[in-house]
Copies of this chain bind each other. A is one copy, B any other.
């Protein structure tokens, strides 16, 4: 193998596939990035068997070939290389790969390329096309609500539903649920799949295009693949039955409260200082007299109390929540005002942006003595 390629292109490709390089792999080969040079293209592959990422860039291929380089070292090296052009060459005699740019030269030991589980393209007629900024937003608004607890795998993923041109993404840890809706570019067959939260988070990070681009999402059995620009990502799906989230959303509320998002978040964050180290991170909200009084109490440290203006329609309510579950949604609401809807102190509440039914958050209260 002997190629020349643009440093910035290579750097971007390495940073993209790097997300799939295994840190504690079953097999040493998975710590590597596989490079395949042919037909004026350089393909980079990385996989940890949960997710695989391939990125293809243009290159001047003088001699085709394949090598596997340590992901960790190759990534840092390319990032720090001087100049605009990088040369990568291997010789048949020894197993080192020469990487040269301007005055700098590295000789990296190669891992055996024949051992690398090269990414296979998913062949499927089932696909949908979504703009990357739409898909990123679906992820951002929901994935934080997933469970971290591997004991219940279903809840460590986000449910993605395609139905005609409608897309829904839903995430829950059973104590809170986030649901965000949007539209695809084209209609597709109806499907539901549960994508691991870890993969969704990485997808959100990898999709960095400045101008919205089309993402083609394929699915087949227990796999899903994302294809856009020069990137191809394939992931396993989580198997199992996602609970019927429609049952979790109360059909009506006895109390609807309009609040300023920023004011409420600032107050919740201040009051949370006293809640944080206590057993359940509990804050109490008392909705009455056109205001909400937020309080917390930590016997070892002290108490906090703050009053925020509110427009209350319906019954007065005193209710308590895990402060993190309230702060998380407030950080994700972009509109100036929000609607906090409640029934009783023990039934789920709903938080959503004002005048927007495409984003809903349900949070279960905490029972206090």
Judge if A301 is at the interface, Cβ distance under 8 Å.
yes
Contact flags A67-88 to B (C-beta < 8 A → 1, else 0): 0001001001100111000000
A73-B301, A96-B302, A302-B96 given as contacts; is B103 within 8 A of A274 (CB)?
no
Bitwise interface map of A from 301 to 332 toward B, beta carbon under 8 Å scored 1, else 0: 11111111000000000000000000000000
* CB-based contact B106/A274 at 8 Å: yes
Find residues 214-230 in chain A having any chain B CB closer than 8 Å to their own CB: none
B273 and A105 contact, CB distance less than 8 A: no
Residue A356 is within 8 A (CB to CB) of chain B in the complex: no
- If A103-B306, A103-B307, A307-B103 touch, does A301 touch B270 (CB 8 Å cutoff)? no
Q: A269: which B residues are within 8 A, CB to CB?
A: 80
Asked if A358 is at the interface (CB within 8 A of a chain B CB), the reply is: no
Q: How many copies of this chain sit in the oligomeric assembly? A: 2
Indicate if the CB atoms of A105 and B306 lie closer than 8 Å: yes
Q: Are A267 and B106 in contact (CB under 8 A)?
A: no
Among residues of B, the one whose C-beta sits closest to the C-beta of A102 is: B306
Cβ contact within 8 Å between B96 and A267: no
Closest B residue to A69 by CB, please name it: B302
- Which residues of B lie under 8 Å from residue A104 when comparing CB positions? 267, 270-271, 304-306
Query: Which residues of chain B are within 8 angstroms of A81 by Cβ–Cβ distance?
Result: 270
- Per the bound structure, the CA–CA distance linking A270 and B106 in Å amounts to 9
CB neighbours (8 Å) of A96 from chain B are 302-303
Confirm or deny: A109 has a beta carbon within 8 angstroms of a beta carbon on chain B.
yes
Pair A107/B267 contact, Cβ less than 8 Å: no
* Interface contact A304-B103, CB-CB below 8 Å: no
Inter-subunit contact B77/A300 (CB<8 Å):
no
A122 at the interface (CB under 8 A from B): no
Interface residues as binary, A322-360 with B (CB distance below 8 Å gives 1, 0 otherwise): 000000000000000000000000000000000000000
Q: Are B80 and A270 in contact (CB under 8 A)?
A: yes
The yes or no answer to A57 lying at the interface (CB within 8 A) is: no
Please name all residues of chain B whose beta carbon is closer than 8 Å to the beta carbon of A307 when the two chains form the complex.
103
Task: State in angstroms the CA–CA spacing of A301 and B32 once bound together.
Answer: 12
The 0/1 profile, CB within 8 Å of B marked 1, for residues 103-126 of chain A is: 111111100000000000000000
Q: Is A206 an interface residue when CB atoms closer than 8 A count as contact? A: no
Other than the given A77-B270, A80-B269, A104-B305, 11 more pairs (CB < 8 A) read A76-B273, A77-B273, A96-B302, A96-B303, A103-B267, A103-B306, A103-B308, A104-B270, A105-B305, A106-B305, A109-B301
12 contacts between A and B (CB under 8 A): A73-B274, A76-B273, A81-B270, A103-B306, A103-B308, A104-B267, A104-B305, A105-B304, A106-B274, A106-B305, A107-B303, A109-B301
